[in-house]
């Protein structure tokens, strides 16, 4: 039996939203219009509480009101599957954006540490010069900082199950994906072998959002690869690892043009 006897105070206490927010959501259509008592007071039902729980979850995931309104169209259908499908796409986009912010912030942190160290090492007599750190960056002479790693998988791999060495992309999409990688790999300045894979260090002009988006997309279709963004004193790099039988595919996909420093 669906209750229709919740006052606005009841809903505030149960949902965590303020009364002003509830009225606003009703005004913009995010909540259905409430019923009224003979005295004009709003009354809500269990379905409204369920919808508010869904809205709260979407807000936790960083969704805007416009995105929530779009998701609510699927919610109104009464079936979980379509809601999950839309929410999954929104979450994937937000994950890429969040990981980009992480990389940018960690990179900025490393730059600030270097700048702080530079400002302590040289104090010129007279105006600033190229080595004081005030007007230009200076080559890093500090000890190498530990690498910070940002994993790029939305699913935790099962230790007891080996992912098949196969790509789930269709042939047409695979060609497009290879072209995207080649454009991105043009920004690589150095490549080196690591255990079970390789590490490619990218130049400062690399579009970080594209790097993260592409690596995350590749992780989804090629579960046997393991991707991570690393940031240390050398810069931003992509580490790719694979099982032994997939290493030839790894080097074929991420092989770099001549001239890249090894």
pLDDT in tens, 26-74: 999 999 888 888 888 889 999 999 999 999 999 999 999 999 999 999 9
Q: What is the largest CA-CA distance in the chain?
A: 82
pLDDT band at 139 (very low <50, low <70, confident <90, very high): low
pLDDT of residue 148: 60
- Does residue 114 have a pLDDT over 70? yes
pTM over 0.85: no
Numbered ranges of CATH 1.10.1660.10 in the chain: 8-78
The C-alpha atoms of residue 42 and residue 143 are separated, in whole angstroms, by 65
Q: Give the angle subtended at the CA of 182 by the CAs of 181 and 183, to the nearest 5°.
A: 90
Judge whether 117 and 139 are in contact, CB under 8 Å: no
pLDDT band at 89 (very low <50, low <70, confident <90, very high): confident
pLDDT of residue 2: 47
pLDDT of residue 167: 80
Q: Hey, which residues does 232 pair with through a beta bridge?
A: 235
Phi-psi region of 83 (alpha: psi -120 to 50; beta: other; left: phi over 0): alpha
The CATH label, of 1.20.1250.20, 1.10.1660.10, 3.30.43.10, 3.30.70.260, for the domain at 8-78 is: 1.10.1660.10
pLDDT of residue 28: 94
DSSP conformation class of 245: G
- Does residue 91 have a pLDDT over 50? yes
pLDDT band at 216 (very low <50, low <70, confident <90, very high): confident
């Amino acid at each position: 039996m669906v209750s229709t006897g919740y006052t606005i105070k009841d809903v505030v206490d149960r949902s965590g939203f303020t009364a002003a927010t509830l009225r606003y959501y009703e005004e913009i259509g995010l909540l259905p219009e409430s019923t009224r008592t003979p005295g004009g007071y709003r009354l809500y039902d269990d379905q409204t509480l369920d919808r508010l729980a869904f809205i709260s979850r979407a807000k936790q995931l960083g969704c805007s009101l416009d995105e929530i309104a779009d998701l609510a169209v699927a919610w109104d259908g009464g079936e979980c599957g379509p809601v999950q499908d839309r929410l999954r796409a929104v979450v994937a986009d937000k994950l890429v954006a969040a990981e980009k912010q992480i990389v940018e912030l960690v990179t900025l942190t490393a730059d600030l540490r270097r700048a702080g160290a530079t400002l302590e090492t040289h104090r010129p007599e007279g105006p600033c010069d190229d080595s004081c750190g005030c007007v230009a960056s200076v080559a890093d002479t500090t000890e190498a900082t530990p690498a910070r790693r940002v994993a790029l998988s939305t699913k935790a791999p099962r230790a007891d199950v080996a992912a098949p060495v196969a790509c789930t992309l269709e042939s047409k999409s695979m060609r497009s994906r290879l072209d995207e990688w080649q454009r991105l790999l043009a920004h690589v300045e150095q490549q080196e072998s690591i255990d079970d894979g390789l590490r490619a260090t990218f130049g400062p002009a690399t579009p970080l959002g594209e790097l993260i988006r592409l690596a995350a997309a590749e992780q989804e279709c090629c579960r046997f690869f393991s991707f991570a963004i690393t940031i240390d004193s050398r810069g931003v790099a992509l580490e790719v690892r694979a099982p032994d039988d997939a290493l030839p595919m790894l080097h074929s996909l991420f092989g770099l043009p001549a001239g890249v420093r090894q």
